[in-house]
Copies of this chain bind each other. A is one copy, B any other.
Amino acid sequence: MHNRLTPVADSNVTFRDPFWAPRRKVNRETTMAREYELLRQTGRLDAFNPKVKGVHQFWDSDTAKWIEAAAYTLGAEPDPELQKRVDTVVRRYVRAQAPDGYLNSYYQRVAPDKRWTNLRDMHELYCAGHLMEAAVARYTASGNDDLLQTLCRYADYIGSVFGTGKGKKRGYPGHPEIELALVRLYRATGQKRYLDLAAYFVNERGRYPYYYDIEAKARGDKPSPEKRGVAYNYCQAHLPTRRQETAEGHAVRACYLYAGMADVAAETGDDELKQACRKLWNNIVTRRMYITGSVGSTFAGERFTVDYDLPNEGAYAETCAAISLVFFAQRMLHLELDGSYADVMETALYNGVASGVSLDGTRFFYANRLAVYPALMERRISGQHFTSFRQPWFGCACCPPNIARLYASVGSYVASSSADRVALHLYTAGEVKAPVGDGTVRLAVKTDYPWDGEIAITVKPDSPRRFTLCLRIPGWCARPVVRLNGRRQTLSQVVQSGYAYLDREWQAGDLIELSFPMTVERVEGHPSARQVAGHVALRRGPVVYCLEECDNGADLADIELPRRAALTAERSKLLSGCVVIKGEGTRRLRDGWEDTLYRTARSKRAPVAIQAVPYCLWNNRDEGEMRVWIRES
């Protein structure tokens, strides 16, 4: 066991909490089966079968994410039906591999002579990356290396095609993903050539002359008409990765790339690459991230836009983009144990990711807006991505299986360990079994988190064992208290970069009590964030709240929250159980507005009771308006 922190596998984390345990149950019992059915019906699960029509360049990635989700699900709990299904699907991939190792249903079925001719647009390396992740997940969770062997052969073949060596193509993917996947393959197999290939893709990206121009010419297409430095920022290939300082282009591509960069930096110790990752991270979290941990403000290109541009109704905030930010955050956290990374990871998980799926696990948001006005969505904006309610499926089906694999593996974000440290990032009732040194420690966690910030952790090492327990002190908490066996710790002495370091020889039964008082916070945005100026968002613990029309009536924008209005948190049975926030706001009285659109300001305001619910839970009741940011008076 080396000295770098490594995530504790999901299979070593059990959930008995009010948030993830029911979601994982629904994911296992409902979502996985529904997605199987939809993937099957659309032909994706049998894409190599000549009878299946309409094979699309994304299909392998959708199936791969479902295989990956199935692997985690089975790792947590056996399920013969699911096992049978996933084994069948995996067998098809294993059998379909070309003699040279190539494996891609679209190119093998539809365009066998076009392999590697359009890396920019065709998602070929992206699909390979997802299949690698699936293979690693399957192998790690079950020990079955059937798919892993197939993907190692594929990776070897890819390594024979791409690179700086003589006769190799100096290409890199249009949609990053394979970088982080190759690092996972390296970690699962110990084969350094996969890390080298990941590093090659990271380092080659964005060099001039652009490979995308070269391959376009080779195809007989025109190269990009855009000028150097702007061309290809959609896919983060406008500059060499180390010289990129702002998060640009398609948000999912961006964060998958940055996660891969951080992985490569962690494995190679490349400080320049680490520094590039930090700059990109800072640009996102200090300029370009929604309060929900969502990223990518605009539908046009599913892109990052400019600093401080975070439209609410117009938000794109793709579910996959919030998931990709979780990946990037987790990688940064393992580059350097700093609570600010975990804060963002937690925010995205409890808000921008969790909003992506309905409580019953059957419907999904592709775009996660921060304000919704249904009358408009029906008329001005069209298309599946823009409905004011969750959808059962999407033609471009990336989000549903991405959520499924994240929920099925959320345990791997809870804790990490190394030879001499165990770090707890997320607090969730249940048990974490972490390898540490040559043994293991069990951490039994009792808490009602995220609805309550009182946490009791009983430490159970396999035998008395010295190591440092690193406990995250959430950035949202103003007055944290840490007690060890009843003794209050002096945080100025033990806390560094958002983690409390408790170093001792741990005995079975050692008790840590964490008190992170959850008050209702009114959050303001940076003065340059024009779309939220004059507004506050309500946050309690890691959970961001919103107003829904079914609780507060229509015209939510007219609600004002006086600066000193009392806000109370109440445990409620609503929405399968959650904490709601109640308070008194005001609304304009509506008299005298007949046939008037504008008038000299003279409205009076009257008090109204308001109720806010967790943002991630909105649209689980009646369809209607929703707003995260509330005007403050």
Residues of A within 8 A of B (CB): 282, 285-287, 289, 291, 297-298, 300, 303, 305-307, 309, 314, 373, 375-376, 378-381, 478, 521-531, 533-534, 536-537, 554-558, 560, 563, 587-588, 590, 593, 595-603, 631-633
The answer to whether residues A380 and B305 also contact, given A595-B282, A597-B285 and a CB cut-off of 8 A, is yes
Whether B527 lies near A600 (C-beta < 8 A) is no
A587 proximity list for chain B (CB < 8 A): 527
Q: How many copies of the polypeptide does the oligomer hold? A: 2
Closest to A559 in B: B533
With the chains together, A598 CA to B287 CA distance in Å? 10
With the chains together, A534 CA to B290 CA distance in Å? 22
Closest to A530 in B: B557
The answer to whether residues A555 and B534 also contact, given A597-B287, A600-B521 and a CB cut-off of 8 A, is no
Closest to A381 in B: B300
Q: Write the nearest CB–CB distance from A497 to chain B, whole angstroms.
A: 14
Contact residue among B306, B373, B521, B560 (Cβ-Cβ distance under 8 Å from A380): B306
Closest to A301 in B: B380
Query: A305-B376, A305-B380, A307-B375 provided; 9 other pairs, C-beta below 8 A?
Result: A286-B597, A300-B381, A523-B600, A525-B598, A527-B555, A527-B593, A530-B558, A533-B555, A563-B601
Whether A522 lies near B600 (C-beta < 8 A) is yes
Sample (27) of A-B pairs whose CB atoms are under 8 Å apart:
A286-B597, A287-B597, A297-B380, A298-B380, A305-B376, A306-B379, A306-B380, A309-B376, A309-B380, A314-B314, A478-B600, A521-B600, A523-B599, A524-B598, A524-B601, A526-B593, A526-B596, A526-B597, A527-B603, A529-B597, A530-B555, A530-B558, A533-B555, A533-B631, A534-B534, A537-B598, A563-B601
Q: Write the nearest CB–CB distance from A567 to chain B, whole angstroms.
A: 12
The answer to whether residues A601 and B527 also contact, given A375-B306, A380-B305 and a CB cut-off of 8 A, is no
Q: Write the nearest CB–CB distance from A563 to chain B, whole angstroms.
A: 8
With the chains together, A156 CA to B286 CA distance in Å? 67
With the chains together, A631 CA to B557 CA distance in Å? 13
With the chains together, A219 CA to B537 CA distance in Å? 56
Q: Write the nearest CB–CB distance from A73 to chain B, whole angstroms.
A: 34
Q: Write the nearest CB–CB distance from A137 to chain B, whole angstroms.
A: 33
A314 proximity list for chain B (CB < 8 A): 314
Q: Write the nearest CB–CB distance from A628 to chain B, whole angstroms.
A: 11
Contact residue among B527, B530, B588, B602 (Cβ-Cβ distance under 8 Å from A590): B527
With most chain B CB atoms within 10 A of its CB, the pick from A534, A537, A556 is: A534
Closest A-B pairs by Cβ, 10 of them: A530-B557, A524-B601, A533-B557, A522-B601, A534-B631, A305-B380, A527-B558, A533-B558, A306-B375, A527-B588
Q: Write the nearest CB–CB distance from A87 to chain B, whole angstroms.
A: 43
A603 proximity list for chain B (CB < 8 A): 524, 527
Whether B558 lies near A632 (C-beta < 8 A) is no
A527 proximity list for chain B (CB < 8 A): 555, 558, 587-588, 590, 593, 603
Q: Write the nearest CB–CB distance from A289 to chain B, whole angstroms.
A: 6
Q: Write the nearest CB–CB distance from A321 to chain B, whole angstroms.
A: 16
With the chains together, A269 CA to B534 CA distance in Å? 52
With the chains together, A305 CA to B588 CA distance in Å? 24
With the chains together, A307 CA to B378 CA distance in Å? 13
With the chains together, A603 CA to B588 CA distance in Å? 26
With the chains together, A554 CA to B530 CA distance in Å? 10
Q: Write the nearest CB–CB distance from A318 to chain B, whole angstroms.
A: 16
A633 proximity list for chain B (CB < 8 A): 534, 633
Q: Write the nearest CB–CB distance from A525 to chain B, whole angstroms.
A: 6
